Amino acid sequence: MFSHPAIERVAGRPTRTALVGSGFIADVHLQVLRGLPGVQVVALCDPARARAERLAAKHRVPAVYQDLEAMLAAGGVDAVHLLVPPALHGPLAERCLRAGLHVLVEKPLVLTSAAVLPLHELAQAQRRVLAVNHNQTCHPSLLALQDHLARGRLGRLEHLTLQHHVPLRQLGTGDVGHFMFQTAANIVWEQGVHLFSMVYALLGECRTARALTGPSRVLGNGVPFVAEWLVALECARGTAVLRMAFGKPWLETTVQAIGSDGAAWLDLARGACWLRRKTRWLDFLDQGLNLAGGALHLGGRAIGSVLGYGLGLFGLRFPDDPFLRSMRRAVHAFHGAVRGQGELPQGLSPAAAAAVLAMCEQTAAAAHASTSPPPAPAPLPPPGPARPGEVLVLGGTGFLGRRCVQRLRAAGRPVTLVVRRPQLLPDELRAADLRLFVGDAADPAVLQRACAGAETVLHLATAAGDDPTQVEANMARAVAAAADACRAAGCSRLVYTSSTAALWLGAAGSIDGSTGPDPLPAQRSAYARGKIAAEAELRARRGSGLAITIVRPAIVVGPGGSPEHSGVGLWVRDNHCVGWGRGDLPLPLVLADDCAAALVAALHNQAAADRDYNLAGPVRPTARAYVAALATRTARDYRFHPMPLWWMWLQEFGKYLVKLAARRPREWPALRDFQSRSFRTELRCDDAVRDLDFRPEADPERFFARAFAGLPTP
């Protein structure tokens, strides 16, 4: 069915390669293509042109296109990497094959096993290479296992046990726009293919599948999401059991291979493959030899990992990163096949794609997981006319914004929202009493329409953009545009949610809301500079008929937010917090609900006009105490590591010099920014209590119960 006819190779000149899609994975592809002999990246194509242009500039790609047809019409391309959402894989692969291009598609190749053969036959007819990026089949550990098997060291392979225990950042943030959250089964097509591709490479096609799943929860887009999967597969050459667990704090991807005469344990995250074999010695010596062999292998991997990172950082060798190395092998194998320098590995072939997709389909059917999305929500109605007392909330779908909207609606206030992605809007924000404008909260045209008829505006949107070098300018520009739109529309008040990051808090003493931002913004981080610049734009507009109130929440915690708040310390891991100092200074915490109440009060309390406030509650534990309370509450291994600020800064300065020497510049680690993060300065909030009726939780026990509500407990 899947034959291998002659391919029209590229020879005598570089393979001119284009990437379609410029997201995270495109950057990885460009890293592994760098320095590949005989391959030249000539173009990037993405409807998000600005993002593509930034990536092209980073990797010195000469051409950028916003449209695939325009790129194909321009010519000069031999091969393409398709790095787009999976629903586009089939149509774009077909279009590129018909245009005479060799095609590498990110997994999955298409969405159904039945759709693979027509694409394969088209590639045959065009004499072009069609490959799927099952990069795990090129993983160094899996290749080591296959070498052991080929040499007969495990005897006959009989069984595999695979563990895939992985965090998913999007589950915590509620960003469910990714493909894997569009149906109940899509998580298998997105994550399960990694495991299934390895099972196929080792055991062949799957004959039967059985599945057990944990409870599901309904995501914001209405899709039931299952976080725990246990799948049993009977394959052509053995059996396999897979456990997939998503949204977990600990990352663990392992393979246990058991043969008739030995076994191997693969740690894919760390690039290890520990072989255990039978020996002729007595049991105690046999065990000792196997353990010693494992110790030598793991010790070698430890040295190789550290040394490889350093050599890779300075470009002396390719980084010793198992994921990057698997990507490099897969991409290089594709281009080797295009250039006639080797056959396409079986794991990257259309036959493998069809077998892996069949496993996905069998698993979904066994688990009764739907492959269809829930009914699309009704289109948003056009916003009607503004009502008396209308409040426009910018950033109303966020952590604080939702709470503010709830309070406003509970008080009977009419609310208008500006939303960027209406398809992800939860049901609670689709209520008939809400006016909804679709667009960017930094777009002056959108702001002009949304502000028309509004009485007050609550600005909670960060509007920093996705270019790290433009954070300060973007934040200032967005706030200035909002203030100008408010003034032009005749709004009476704008309440801007700034941050205590804008303040200088590295000296002894105390301040209240009347103390202005840090007078030395150039010595602060990009985020702090952005908030300082935004406040400056607003102050310049005071006295022009629009009352402007600036509110600076301190360390905001509560359900729906991350307990690993950067205000507590530098979380080098999700359970390891390095303190901004020794961790013995009180932290200005505030509950999200209490913060929202003060922000809503600032919209109408007369005393708050043209004033600035800081928000922090009276419960102010040290960083040590906060982390200890978090550990007690969750029964997790949370650790706090005190560190003098000067020593922390020296470490960051050292990293800066290393990155600079490696020509990978990073933001200058200003000592003043580290000092301000210590919260040495006490925040007084008497003015907020007086003018905003600010009544934060004062009981420590109730505070922590509310702060950590919803976290998993023992």
98 shares a domain with 208:
no
Q: What is the CATH number of the domain that holds 27?
A: 3.40.50.720
Contact assessment for residue 182 and residue 294, using Cβ atoms and an 8 Å cutoff? no
Using CA atoms, how far apart are residues 630 and 622, in angstroms rounded to an integer?
12
**What pLDDT was estimated at residue 132?**
98
263 shares a domain with 141:
yes
**For residue 67, is it within any domain?**
yes
H, E, C per residue of 680-695: CCEECCHHHHHHHCCC
Of residues 466, 439, 463, the one with CA closest to residue 51: 466
The total of structural domains in the chain comes to 2
Would you tell me the crossing angle of helices 24-33 and 322-338 to the nearest 10 degrees? 70
142 shares a domain with 123:
no
**For residue 189, is it within any domain?**
yes
pLDDT for 205-244, tens place per residue? Answer: 999 999 999 999 998 888 999 999 999 999 999 999 999 9
186 shares a domain with 97:
no
Q: What is the CATH number of the domain that holds 355?
A: 3.30.360.10
pLDDT category at 584 given cuts 50, 70, 90 is: very high
**For residue 291, is it within any domain?**
yes
Give the Å distances, CA to CA, from 433 to 280, 404, 411, 415, 604.
79, 15, 13, 8, 20
200 shares a domain with 286:
yes
If you count them, how many residues does the chain have? 714
183 shares a domain with 54:
no
Read off the DSSP letter of residue 382: P
Average confidence (pLDDT) over 549-562: 95
Would you tell me the crossing angle of helices 322-338 and 140-150 to the nearest 10 degrees? 70
Q: Which residues contact 625 (CB under 8 A, 6 or more apart)?
A: none
**What pLDDT was estimated at residue 126?**
95
pLDDT for 511-521, tens place per residue? Answer: 999 999 999 99
Residue 157 belongs to what domain range? 137-367
* HSE value, Cβ hemisphere, 13 Å, CA-based, for 259: 23
pLDDT category at 3 given cuts 50, 70, 90 is: low
pLDDT at 364 over 90: yes
164 shares a domain with 34:
no
Residues β-bridged to residue 63:
43
Using CA atoms, how far apart are residues 557 and 654, in angstroms rounded to an integer?
32
pLDDT at 663 over 80: no
pLDDT category at 499 given cuts 50, 70, 90 is: very high
β-pair type (252-259, 157-166): antiparallel
- How high is the mean pLDDT of the chain? 93
**For residue 437, is it within any domain?**
no
Where does a domain end: 367, 386, 405? 367
108 shares a domain with 162:
no
**What pLDDT was estimated at residue 366?**
97
Average confidence (pLDDT) over 411-417: 96
Instruction: Give the N- to C-terminal CA distance of the chain in Å, as an integer.
Output: 53
Using CA atoms, how far apart are residues 392 and 531, in angstroms rounded to an integer?
21
Where does a domain end: 332, 352, 367? 367
Q: Write out the two tokens for 403.
A: 């709470």
**What pLDDT was estimated at residue 4?**
65
**What pLDDT was estimated at residue 119?**
97
pLDDT category at 615 given cuts 50, 70, 90 is: very high
**What pLDDT was estimated at residue 377?**
81
170 shares a domain with 37:
no
Where does a domain end: 367, 396, 431? 367
Q: Which of 5-19, 273-287, 377-391, 502-516 reaches the highest mean pLDDT?
A: 502-516
pLDDT for 30-84, tens place per residue? Answer: 999 988 999 999 999 999 998 999 999 999 999 999 999 999 999 999 999 999 9
281 shares a domain with 208:
yes
223 shares a domain with 114:
no
**For residue 534, is it within any domain?**
no
**For residue 466, is it within any domain?**
no
pLDDT at 541 over 90: yes
Buried b (16+ CB within 10 A) or exposed e, 425-448: beeebeeeebbbbeebbbbbebbe
115 shares a domain with 178:
no
**For residue 390, is it within any domain?**
no
Using CA atoms, how far apart are residues 535 and 479, in angstroms rounded to an integer?
8
pLDDT at 599 over 90: yes
Average confidence (pLDDT) over 266-282: 93
Using CA atoms, how far apart are residues 171 and 263, in angstroms rounded to an integer?
36
pLDDT category at 682 given cuts 50, 70, 90 is: very high
**What pLDDT was estimated at residue 231?**
98
Q: pTM for this structure?
A: 0.89
**What pLDDT was estimated at residue 5?**
66
pLDDT category at 655 given cuts 50, 70, 90 is: confident
Using CA atoms, how far apart are residues 504 and 116, in angstroms rounded to an integer?
60
**For residue 488, is it within any domain?**
no
pLDDT for 154-180, tens place per residue? Answer: 999 999 999 999 998 888 777 788 999
